[in-house]
Amino acid sequence: MQFSFSEEQEEFRSMLRRFLEAKSPPSAVRAQMVTDQGYDPDVWASLAGELGVTALHIPEEYGGAGFGVSELAIAAEEMGRALLCAPFFASTVMAATAIINAGSDDQKRTLLPDLASGDVIATLAAAEPGGGWAPDQIKMTATKAGDGYTLTGAKSYVLDGMNAGRIVIAANAPGGGIALFTAAADGQGVSRTALKSMDPTRKLARIDFDAAPVELLGDAAAGAEAYAKTMDVMLTCLANEMNGGAERLREDALEYVSMRMQFGRSIASFQTTKHKAADMLLDVELSKAAGYSAASALDDDDPDARAVASLAKAAASEAYFQTAVHAVQMHGGIGFTFDNDTHLWFKRAKQSEAFLGDANLHRERMMQHWGTEA
């Protein structure tokens, strides 16, 4: 594992941070979160074009930049910090990764360039209503139809499901075992419904499939591992995204208490405030270390990478929400208002706690893979 970022990586981070500070201040987040689409196509175009974040980890031969999970995770962290409203997580982190891991060479050649350029937005539909993202929670099973397959049933909590032009679907192959399929979002037998999301900066949808023709990505027998590897990348990026948000909350709360006076003195001078701030730093720094290590482990093909990805998600789930609770508390009454920005991150923290599985689930997944290959 690598324990520090290269100069190029640091450079990339500061460039992205400057961009997001300009394009995704809280006023922009508020403006986007009340729209149905939930993102600004101009900002998306710049992110894809000038900054090339949509191409980051896509191999060069498929139109990408050929970077690793570490770079992807840096982007996620900065976007989480800025609470960026954009389909980056759905399209680049989820769908592109799934295609990279599962698709045949031909399929990658056909599908990835449009994702790398940001021209097509894609998403991954895995969890089912009331279910979850773990393979054993996925019940939908494909049916063989001629040369291809069809899917019937419902997927839910699909990130940017309404914005996507392409959907990658995790479902069981007819013979059992998870496989990855894909279809156009406006394809035959596919219908989408927007869901009310608790975090308005992140749009969700339910997708119903009614004998919808789908294309199998790659080889069904390799699907389970492809989905697991995709999950590792998603968990790692989500953890880093969450840490970015947590750090921002931590910094904002610290700035607020340093400004505010009660009892004739700065509330930052009360020991309980200082201890809270110290605890928040501890929580966030520990979680960041886990997030970075998960990315590095994936890039190094470390045999423990799977366990570490789940560890990082479990750590971030607790650190982010705890930081959000402290941040509201440190603001006092104003922290509970809609006009104050703290709640925007609070809701992201809450939603992310459940997204891709909660801390309990990932502690269990971590234990199942801990040292198994070492």
Partner 1 sequence: MTVEQVRADVQAYLKANWDPNLGLVEWRLKLMDSGWGMPHWPEKWYGRGLPLGMTSIVDEEFAKVGAVGVAKMGIRVLAAATILEHGTDHHKEKFLRGILTGEETWCQLFSEPGSGSDLAGAATRADLKDGKWIINGQKVWTTSAHHAHYGLLLARTDWDAVKHKGLSYFILDMHQPGVDVHQLKQMNGHASFNQVFLTEAVIEPEYQVAELGEGWKVATTTLMNERRGADSARKYDSASERLERIYEEERAEIATVMAPYTWYPQRMGRVDMLIDRAKALGKFDDPATRQEIAKVLTLAKSAEWTARRARAASAAGKPQGPEGSIGKLAASIVARAANLAHTTIAGPDAMLTGDDDGTEGVVAEILVSTPAISIAGGTDEIQRNIISERILKMPKEMRTDTDRPFRDVPRNQV
Residues that bind partner 1 (CB under 8 A): 127, 130-133, 156-157, 195-199, 204, 260-265, 267, 270, 272-273, 321, 325, 328-329, 332-333, 335-340, 342-343, 346-347, 350-351, 353-355, 358, 360, 364
| Residue 264 in contact with ligand FAD, rule: CB under 6 A | no
| Residue 119 in contact with ligand FAD, rule: CB under 6 A | no
| Residue 336 in contact with ligand FAD, rule: CB under 6 A | yes
Phi, psi of 337 (to 5 degrees): -90, 160
Could you tell me if 93 and 233 are in contact, meaning their C-beta atoms sit under 8 angstroms apart?
yes
Q: How many Å apart are CA 154 and CA 231, to the nearest integer?
A: 20
Six token digits for residue 246: 């947590």
Contacted by 313, from partner 1, ligand FAD, none: CB < 5 to 8 Å by type = none
Distance of CA 345 to the CA centre of its chain: 15
Which residue in 7, 130, 272, 301 binds ligand FAD (CB under 6 A)? 272
CA angle at residue 67 from 293 to 42, to 5 degrees?
110
- Nearest 10 degrees: Cα torsion 140, 144, 148, 153: -20
* Residue placing its CB nearer to partner 1 in the complex, 57 or 202: 202
Position of minimal CB gap to ligand FAD: 332
Q: How many Å apart are CA 254 and CA 236, to the nearest integer?
A: 27
Which residue in 174, 176, 303, 332 binds ligand FAD (CB under 6 A)? 332
Contacted by 146, from partner 1, ligand FAD, none: CB < 5 to 8 Å by type = none
| Residue 333 in contact with ligand FAD, rule: CB under 6 A | yes
DSSP state of 96: I
Q: How many Å apart are CA 237 and CA 309, to the nearest integer?
A: 9
Binding segment for ligand FAD (CB under 6 A), chosen from 153-161, 189-197, 201-209, 331-339, is: 331-339
Contacted by 116, from ligand FAD, partner 1, none: CB < 5 to 8 Å by type = none
Phi, psi of 169 (to 5 degrees): -125, 130
* Residue placing its CB nearer to ligand FAD in the complex, 45 or 336: 336
Could you tell me if 171 and 138 are in contact, meaning their C-beta atoms sit under 8 angstroms apart?
yes
* Residue placing its CB nearer to partner 1 in the complex, 100 or 242: 242
Residue 340 C-beta: closest distance to partner 1, Å: 8
| Residue 263 in contact with ligand FAD, rule: CB under 6 A | yes
| Residue 2 in contact with ligand FAD, rule: CB under 6 A | no
Phi, psi of 262 (to 5 degrees): -145, 150
Contacted by 265, from ligand FAD, partner 1, none: CB < 5 to 8 Å by type = partner 1
Q: Which of 338, 236, 314, 245 is nearest to 284 (CA)?
A: 245
| Residue 146 in contact with ligand FAD, rule: CB under 6 A | no
Could you tell me if 362 and 310 are in contact, meaning their C-beta atoms sit under 8 angstroms apart?
yes
| Residue 5 in contact with ligand FAD, rule: CB under 6 A | no
| Cα–Cα distances in angstroms (integers) from residue 299 to residues 2, 54, 150, in the given order | 10, 18, 35
Residue 259 C-beta: closest distance to ligand FAD, Å: 10
Q: Which residues lie near ligand FAD (CB under 6 A)? A: 260, 262-263, 267, 270, 272-273, 329-330, 332-333, 336
